[in-house]
Amino acid sequence: MGTDYTAHRLAVIGAGVMGTNISTLALGHGVPVTLVDLDDAVLAQARTTIRQKLRHAALVGALPDRPQAELTTTTSLADIADATSVVEAVVEIAETKYKVLAEASSLVRPGTTLISNTSCISIDEMAAHVARPEELVGTHFMNPSYMIKMVEVIRGSATSDAVLAGVGDLLTVLGRQSLVINDSTGFVINRLLHPLINTAAMLVQEGVASVEVVDGLLEGCLGHATGPLRTGDLIGLDNLVDSLQVLYERRGDESCKPCDLLLEKVREGHHGRKTGRGFYDYGKVAS
């Protein structure tokens, strides 16, 4: 049970960092993917990125011994209709997620598992915009998804047992472990992580310590594999700011109000690894 990868057909909406990550994970585990975005140029770049990530995943032994599946790219959301599961992986802006999920839920067959890969926005909040709230569940994949085994799964108040079992089966096929939490804005990971990164950036902004020293202390003293600021670069500082804004607006937590240094980096287009520069200089745009 839970290991028949041929029974799954995945649709991923959004060809950004997480959309290509999740697509790579699925394709490498033999699950065909239909990847949807608004722009043909973005999809062309996504194909290149996914090929590179599949090669990397294979080199580090992160893929099982099974044939890689086929990737289909499209600008038509209607092409998700035959998917067994749909993952929404668009930007962390509530109105954008509402619109995409509403349209997706109107296109898929009843019984299709509808997944929001969300960093902070409440599942119940998004469920108000879909045709069948019981079919919506949240996942929080980490980056890179094909390397990090654990996935945070968020159960909304309306999420059915069948859908929760369905997402669990999909994650098993994808070689992931999962832990289920109840819905709460920011969930577990980002209610802990995002204020930490914001505070780390404040310490740099205030001149208390350099980027390297802040990260070095968290790594050396607390055993963090990656310091908070390098983690922010990996997440994408633009995505981090969007998520912090969600947490600040909905929870009123001052530790989540994006600091000036983060806002300045986003304004300047220094979003982290994906743009080649964030708190660190990576020398080139990361794929």
Say which amino acid occupies 261: L
48: left (phi over 0), alpha (psi -120 to 50) or beta: alpha
Chain-centre distance for alpha carbon 241: 14
- Residue 144: is the preceding peptide bond cis (ω within 30°)? yes
What percent of the residues of the chain are helix, what percent strand, and what percent coil, each to the nearest 5?
50, 15, 35
CA angle (247 as vertex; 244, 248 as ends), nearest 5: 85
Active site residue 194: no
Burial label, 253 (beta-carbon count in 10 A; 0-12, 13-18, 19+): middle
Neighbour-count burial for 205-238, b at 16+ CB within 10 Å, e otherwise: eeeeeebeebbebbeeeeebeebbbbbbbbbbbb
| 239 touches 248 (CB < 8 A) | no
Catalytic residue among 140, 194, 270, 271: 140
User: Closest by alpha carbon to 173, among 11, 12, 7, 34?
Assistant: 7
How many angstroms from the chain centroid is the CA of residue 139?
8
Active site (catalytic) residues: 140
